[in-house]
Amino acid sequence: MSKRLRNTELCADCNVPEPRWASVNRGVLVCDECCSVHRSLGRHSSQVRHLTHTPWPPTQLQMVQTLYSNGSNSIWEHSLLDPASVMSGKRKANPQDKLHPNKSEFIRAKYQMLAFVHRMPCREDDSSTAKDLSKQLHSSVRTGNLETCLRLLSLGAQANFFNPERGNSPLHVAAKAGQVSQAELLTVYGADPGAPDSNGKTPIDYAREAGQHDLADRLVEIQYELTDRLAFYLCGRKPDHKNSQHFIVPQMADSSLDLSELAKAAKKKLQSLSNHLFEELAMDVYDEVDRRETDAVWLATQNHSTLVTETTVVPFLPVNPEYSSTRNQGRQKLARFNAHEFATLVIDILSDAKRRQQGNSVASPKDNIELILKSVAIRHCSDSQDNDQPDYDSVASDEDTDPELNSSKGDRTKSLDSDLSDSPITMQEYLEVKHALSASEAKIQKLMKANNNLSDELRLMQKKASRFEKQSSMPESDYDNTFYDSELEDSGLCRRGRLRSSGWLGEGSSIPELDGLETESDPTLPSTEDVIRKTEQITKNIQELLRAAQENKHDSFIPCSERIYVAVTEMAALFPKRPRSETVRSSLRLLTSSAYRLQGECRKAVPSEGCPRPDMQLVTQQVIQCAYDIAKAAKQLVTITTKENTN
C-alpha cells in the first residue's frame, strides 16, 4: 500500500487535515502538533512513526491504515460519541485549540487515562472478565475484522492468551488463517511468534504450513525486532534471517584503542547481569534508539520558518509508571550518552544478546577486545561515577532480582540434550524411570488422574519437550522467547508492547562454571546408587509439588520449590565440578537452571502488595514445566551414570 495519504484523512485528535504521523498501537493518524504530545507520553502509551520518513514494514503500515479507515478512533472516543457528552461539556480538541493546554490535556486524557474508552460492567472477578475477552479475541482473529480485535485489546483481552480448550493462542489462529494484519496487531500488543501450542508448533510453523511464507518470514523478523532495530540504528543493515543470520554486531573503527581496566570492568559487569535485568536494559536502550530516531525525523520534517518551541521536544525517555523509579532514572540517563558512547553500549548489548542466545560462556576481555565498552559510556554502567543517581547495572527489578530466579520460559539452548536426542523424552519414559527409582509410579498416576486440568497441563509439557528436542538439531530454528512475568497480567492498553528478546537467553549463561571445559580430564562419576538415592529425594518433593498444584494449595509452592532446590543442589554436588562429557554438563545445566526457574515461578504464586493478581493457571503451568524439566534432567543423569558404571 502506498504511504501517501488521501486528502480526506484527518488527525484523530484535532481534525487537522492530512496527518503525517501514525500511532501504531492505537491505530490512528495524527498531525505534527498532536504527535508531539503522543511522543511525550512514551512508547508504553503511544508508538509513533512518521508515515513517509520512517521505514515501515509494509504489512504493519497496512494494518494501521486499515484500522484507521474502519473507525479505530471511535474506540478511544467512545463516550464522546454519546449525545449526552455534549451536554456535559465533554468535547474533543479542534484545529483552532492551542497545543498547550487544550490539545495536550485532551490527548493525555484520551490515551493515558483512557477517559473515553467504553467501560465494561463492574464484576467481582476481573480475571474472569479478561479471560472472557481473551477468548473472544481468540475467536475473532480468524476473521479480517481488525477493529473488533483492537476494541477487545483495549478492554483487557490478552494477546498472548493460551486457550486451554484449543491448545493455542490467538496468534496461532491468525497465522493458520493467513490473517496478516491480525498477526501484526497481535504482535504490537505482545503476542509471541515463537510460543508453542499444545502440539509444539509455533505461529511461524503454522504460517509456513498454510503456504503463508511472507507472513512466516515477517513473524521471524518480529522475533528479532529488538536486536534488528539496534543493528540498523548503527549500520543501516539488518540480518538475513532467511539464511539463518540472526545477528549483526557492528564494530567501532577505533575498537582497539581503549583497553583500560575500567573498560574491562564495565564489560564484565554488563555480561554478569542476570537475564531478566539484561532484558530490561536492552528494552530500555531500544526505547532510547526509538526516541533518538524519532527526534531526527521530527527535526527533519518541521517547518523551520516557525520556531520549534521546547514544548514539542522530548529530551529523554518519559516516565513509565509501570517501572520502578530506579529503572526510570536509569532510562533517562541514557539521553546523556553522546553518539560514540551510545554506540558502544548498543554494540555491547548486541554482542551479549548473541552470546546469551548461543549459550556461550563469558569470554575474557582479551578475547573480545573489539567489543569492549569504551569512553565515558563505561562510567555510566559502573559504580565509580554519578553515584547520586542509580546506575543501570544496579537497577532494581519490580520483581525478585536474584540472578537466575527471573529467567524466562525461553531460557533454552540448542544443545541441551544433544547426546540424548535420538528420540524425544516422553512423559511415559519419565514415569517409567520414576517407577524404577522410587516405586511411586502408581501414586503419581493416581494424583495426575485426580484432576483433568492438571493432566492437560502435563500433556502440554510433554509436547513442549518434544519441540525443544527438535530445536536442538535445527540451527536455524527460532527459540521460544515468551517472557510471561507480569506481561500477561497487564490488561488493556496500559501494558507495554512486547519487545522480543529473540531467544537470547541460553541455559549456558546461568551456570557459567559448567561452560568451556571441553579439555578437562573427566574425574570419576558418582555411583549409580548415589544418583538414584538423590533422584528419589527429588522425585518425592516433585510429588508434593504436584499434589499442591492439584489441590490449588499455592502457598505450598515456595516451600516445595525450596526443598526441590536443596535436593537438586545435593545431587549436583555428587558430580565433578568440571565433567568432561558434554552430555553430563548439559544435564546438570538443565537440572540446576530448572531448579532456579522453579523457585522464581513459585514466588509468583504469592501476590505482592500493590501488584496485579497473578494468573494462577499460567503460573501453575510454568511450575509444572519446570518440575518436568528437573525430572527429565535427573532421568538423563541416572541413564548416563548407569551406562558409565556398567562399562
Q: Which amino acid is at 349?
A: I
Q: What is the mean pLDDT of residues 459-464?
A: 52
What confidence score (pLDDT) does residue 174 get?
98
- Please report, for residues 107, 513, 635, the alpha-carbon distance to residue 361 in angstroms, rounded to integers and kept in the order given: 48, 9, 26
CA 393 – CA 250 distance, rounded (Å): 23
Indicate the pLDDT class of residue 171, thresholds 50, 70 and 90. Answer: very high
Residue 24 has pLDDT above 60, yes or no: yes
How is residue 309 written as a grid cell? 518551541
Residue 360 confidence class, pLDDT cut points 50, 70, 90: low
CATH class of 21-112: mainly alpha
Are the C-beta atoms of 175 and 219 separated by less than 8 Å? yes
CA distance 529 to 571: 12
Q: Which residues of 449-465 are buried (b: 16+ CB within 10 A; e: fewer)?
A: eebeebbebbebbbbbb
- Mean pLDDT across the stretch 472-491? 32
DSSP 101: I
Query: Residue 48: its pLDDT value, please?
Result: 97
Please check the confidence at residue 342 and state whether its pLDDT lies above 70: yes
pLDDT tens, residue by residue, 197-212: 999 999 999 999 999 9
Distance between CA atoms of residues 392 and 278, nearest Å: 10
Sign of CA dihedral 74, 76, 81, 82: positive
Phi-psi domain of 33 (left: phi exceeds 0; alpha: psi -120 through 50; beta: other): alpha
Least confident of 41-55, 151-165, 582-596: 582-596
Furthest-apart CA atoms within the chain: distance in Å: 88
CB-based contacts of 372: which residues, under 8 Å, 6+ apart? 255, 258, 259, 263, 264, 267, 348, 365
Contact between 207 and 216 under an 8 Å Cβ cutoff? The reply is: yes
Which of 204-213, 503-512, 587-596, 620-629 is predicted least confidently? Answer: 503-512
Cα–Cα nearest to 246, from 234, 257, 230: 230
168: left (phi over 0), alpha (psi -120 to 50) or beta: beta
Q: What is the pLDDT of residues 273-283, one digit of tens each?
A: 888 899 999 99
21-23 vs 28-30, strand pairing mode: antiparallel
Residue found under cell 494424583: 447
| pLDDT per position as a tens digit, 519-575 | 343 557 888 888 888 888 898 888 888 888 878 888 888 889 989 999 998 898 888
Q: Is the pLDDT of residue 143 over 50?
A: yes
- Please identify which residue in the block is written with the cell numbers 483492537: 150
- Answer yes or no: are the C-beta atoms of 154 and 74 closer than 8 Å: no
Let me know: does 400 contact 286? Beta carbons within 8 Å: no
What are the tens digits of pLDDT across the range 283-294? 999 999 999 999
For residue 30, the cross-strand partners are 21
Residue 539: the pLDDT is 85
| Claim: this prediction has a pTM higher than 0.85 | no
Please, are residues 276 and 397 in contact by the beta-carbon 8 Å criterion? yes
- Residue whose C-alpha cell reads 531478566 in the numeric block: 276
DSSP state, residue 49: E
Superfamily covering domain 418-646 = Nucleotidyltransferases  domain 2 (1.20.120.330)
Of the listed ranges 123-127, 206-210, 631-635, the one predicted with least confidence: 123-127
- Out of 49-63, 371-385, 463-477, 614-628, the most confident range is 49-63
Calculate the alpha carbon distances from 63 to 42, 118, 401, 438 in Å.
21, 22, 38, 56
Average pLDDT taken over every residue of the chain: 74
What fold does the segment set 126-223 form as a domain?
1.25.40
Task: Please report which confidence band the pLDDT of residue 265 belongs to, taking 50, 70 and 90 as the band edges.
Answer: confident
SS in 3 state form for 581-633?
A: CHHHHHHHHHHHHHHHHHHHHHHHCCCCCCCCCCCHHHHHHHHHHHHHHHHHH
Q: What is the pLDDT of residues 40-90, one digit of tens each?
A: 999 999 999 999 999 999 999 999 999 999 999 999 999 888 776 555 556
The pLDDT confidence band at residue 423, using thresholds 50, 70 and 90, is very low
* Angle at 53 (CA atoms; ends 105, 230), nearest 5 degrees: 90
Q: Check whether the bond before 101 is cis (ω within 30° of 0).
A: yes
Confidence of residue 376 (pLDDT cuts 50, 70, 90): very low
Which is more confidently placed, 381 or 176?
Answer: 176
Q: Reply yes or no on whether the pLDDT at 403 is more than 60.
A: no
pLDDT digits (tens, 9 = 90+) for 312-321: 668 899 999 9
The pLDDT assigned to 629 comes to: 82
22 forms beta bridges with 29, 49
Whether the CB-CB separation of 336 and 293 falls below 8 Å is answered with: no
Residue ranges covered by each domain of the chain: 21-112, 126-223, 261-302+313-394, 418-646
pLDDT at 455 over 80: no
